[in-house]
Structure 1
Amino acid sequence: MEKLSSLKPAFIKPHGTITAANSSYMTDGATAALIMTEDFALANGYKPKAYLRDYMYVSQDPKDQLLLSPAYVIPKLLDKAGLQLKDIDVFEIHEAFAGQVLANIKAMDSDYFCTENMKRSGKFGRVPLDKLNLWGGSLSIGHPFGATGVRLAIHSAHRLKEEKGQYAVIAACAAGGHGVGMLVEAYGK
């Protein structure tokens, strides 16, 4: 703990809070995913892992909402699907920084943020931490650019099977205030 607390801030020096200890690190990595219809998969001998039920892209002003895409996309995606937070068994949220994912969780559970920024009638709710990134997220296993999205999808599909859940939500922010959300459903549920 002494060594971690001595790390210098990466931004806004000398008073910043983002250090190498609470940031995702760049790693080597590669991924591949086969996305196809269920009929094609079964006809060609593939065993599906999960259904990609829906996806959505969002964007915000990067000046003051750069890494808040999960807070915007999760409520919109679930509203579109007619689902609520309690219906989701698995959450996989890309963590650029520890503070970033915590800020998104707090924003969705804030009356002020949801009313003022998202034009909702009140707060959306709190993502349950006991369902979030249980097999490790970008902070613990790294962030291979170009591979993180598929890693999130594969973790979601495998967690749904292992944890006997039905729905997973994936959310990630991207450069310039962009973000993506996906709704994944367990195969065979």
Structure 2
Amino acid sequence: MKLPLPLSILAAGRLPQGRFGGALAGQGAVALGEAAVRALLSDPDLPRPTRLCWGMARSHTQGMNPGRTIAVRAGLGHQVVGTTLNMACGSGMGAIFQAAQYLLLGESGPVLAGGSEAMSDNPHLMPNLRWGWRLGHQPLPDVMHQDGLLCPLTGLLMGETVEHLAKAHGITRSQADRYALESHRRAAAADFSAEHLPHPLLDRDECIRPDATLADLEALPPIFTPEGQVSAGNASALSDGAAALLLSREAGPSPLGRILGWTELALDPMEMGAAPIPAVNTLLAECGLRIRDIALWEINEAFAAQVLCCAEALDLPMDRLNSAGGAISLGHPIGASGARIVVALLHRLRQRGGGLGIATLGIGGGLGQAVLVEA
């Protein structure tokens, strides 16, 4: 939908993203969120938020309503309402939409939105232990797998649905590996200083592999089926991170950018990876725009094959898509990723002198999101 009035983005940033088991392991998603909020609001010229909307897809061990805990522990005060949204990969972007809705409905604002995920800290579960285990072996389900990567509607892992999508769209392993290599190349060459928020344990994105080669990627075996094309090298990296944005109805002295519109939609869960296609087409139609009007694009790189399917169907210019890499090279901390790609888009637009941009992603279970911003 096209917004009845643009909403200002006063500030936007993210923590450097840690690799799985890396420098941020053991911190927990609440602590990462707190660090991001504190760092973003360290500028004394920024107004204080009246509400916090936060995405987190795997909150096991993080306590009740992590968004509220983050708000209080980050020093926003007991009077600031904090909420948590679990929408899988769309949690962070969904939190932005939720914050925007509060502002459009009259919240005095500003409202802080974002998301965090500590994938390194996802626990294993012990189902049915409450009523006792009398005899025999028992499973210990991995939260990462059961509540994060497995779609209960299809019974398939996300990568398995992308294998289906790649086959239907004729995307080859070679294309996916080459795209993944380019993601690392772009990320290694990018300047993230404007979007990085400081963290005492990490000052760079740990997942980027500047020395990666095509031969390295081609040597990795398929994950899901022997004849498949999704590998550890052309899929998003498991990681830890947090991203945050401060939204307002008021422009302030120098806003970073504006939100002009967004869309959320649902489709067949087997087509999850293709959800950006109808999401983008719907958003463009509602805002009276065409592909050529958009200066830069961010499609969450859950899988290289998925991005390639969407880019081909939408006829996107590849030099304007994920210009500083994406989740393959930077990591995909699930609850934070939707917010991270909006942060990335805003800063890339400003680096090039401004313009319109769209960030979009597909979500497990068959959902799609897209947001139109201006910087």
Q: Does the pair score TM above 0.5?
A: yes
Is residue 2:214 matched to residue 1:5?
Answer: no
Paired AA for residue 353 in structure 2: K
Residue 185 of structure 1 corresponds to 374
| Alignment match of 2:247 (pick from 35, 41, 44) | 35
Paired AA for residue 62 in structure 1: P
Residue 50 of structure 1 corresponds to 257
SS of residue in 1 equivalent to 2:276: helix
Structure with bigger gyration radius = 2
SS of residue in 1 equivalent to 2:324: coil
Q: Distance in 2 between matches of 1:98 and 1:133?
A: 12
Deviation at 1:62, TM superposition (A): 1.2
The answer for unaligned runs of 5 or more in structure 1 is 109-125
Q: Distance in 2 between matches of 1:78 and 1:106?
A: 17
Equivalent runs, 1:1-189 vs 2, <5 Å: 1-11=214-224, 13-39=225-251, 42=252, 47-63=254-270, 65-108=271-314, 126-186=315-375
Q: Distance in 2 between matches of 1:3 and 1:165?
A: 37
Q: Distance in 2 between matches of 1:26 and 1:50?
A: 29
Paired AA for residue 256 in structure 2: K
- Contact kept? 1:95, 1:138, Cα under 8 Å: yes
Aligned length: 162
Paired AA for residue 67 in structure 1: G
Deviation at 1:38, TM superposition (A): 2.3
Q: Distance in 1 between matches of 2:300 and 2:265?
A: 15
Q: Distance in 1 between matches of 2:295 and 2:369?
A: 19
**Residues 95-139 of structure 1: CA deviation (Å, up to 9, x unaligned):** 11111000112223xxxxxxxxxxxxxxxxx11111111111111
**Residues 79-109 of structure 1: CA deviation (Å, up to 9, x unaligned):** 111111111001011011111000112223x
Q: Distance in 1 between matches of 2:355 and 2:312?
A: 25
4+ residue stretches of structure 1 with deviation over 2 A?
A: 1-6
Deviation at 1:154, TM superposition (A): 1.1
SS of residue in 2 equivalent to 1:15: coil
SS of residue in 2 equivalent to 1:24: coil
User: Residues 128, 174 of structure 1: CA spacing in aligned structure 2 closer, same or farther, 3 A cutoff?
Assistant: same
TM-score when normalising by structure 1: 0.81
CA RMSD after TM alignment? 1.4
Q: Distance in 2 between matches of 1:51 and 1:99?
A: 31
Deviation at 1:159, TM superposition (A): 1.3
Deviation at 1:70, TM superposition (A): 0.8
Q: Distance in 1 between matches of 2:273 and 2:360?
A: 11
Q: Distance in 2 between matches of 1:16 and 1:162?
A: 38
Identical aligned residues as a percent: 37
**Residues 12-64 of structure 1: CA deviation (Å, up to 9, x unaligned):** x111100001000111101221111124xx2xxx642110111100111013x
SS of residue in 2 equivalent to 1:173: strand
- Contact kept? 2:242, 2:340, Cα under 8 Å: no
User: Residues 3, 105 of structure 1: CA spacing in aligned structure 2 closer, same or farther, 3 A cutoff?
Assistant: closer
The answer for unaligned runs of 5 or more in structure 2 is 1-213
TM-score when normalising by structure 2: 0.42
SS of residue in 2 equivalent to 1:30: strand
Q: Distance in 2 between matches of 1:106 and 1:2?
A: 25
- Relative to its length, the structure with more strand (as a share) is 2
SS of residue in 2 equivalent to 1:48: coil
Q: Distance in 2 between matches of 1:169 and 1:7?
A: 32
Paired AA for residue 133 in structure 1: N
